[in-house]
Amino acid sequence: MGCILGFIGPMIGILIFKFVKFSIFSFKEVIQFMYVEPGHRTFSVALSLALLVNAVLFTLYINARKDSTAKGIFALTCAYGLLVLCIKTFS
């Protein structure tokens, strides 16, 4: 369950980022912009902010004493964090 939530959380965060920052553009246009932008700055910012959704989920499940679910969320948060780090470092 934690892995599923850890996977879906950042996607929800990216959707929120899209609707707040790029509300007049379609989702396809935003993804295309993030892909062709030099350095992929917007993409890494979107992923970094999306990780905040996982941080909130992690905190909620830790406080609810659902440790196994929290472990899955934490594992996926670390994986997404490494992805953001690689994007920021190598692009």
- For the chain, 91 residues long, give each residue's pLDDT as a single digit of tens: 888 998 898 888 888 889 998 989 998 998 888 888 887 788 888 888 888 999 999 999 999 999 999 999 999 999 988 988 887 788 7
CA distance 13 to 10: 5
| Residue located via tokens 């910012």 | 45
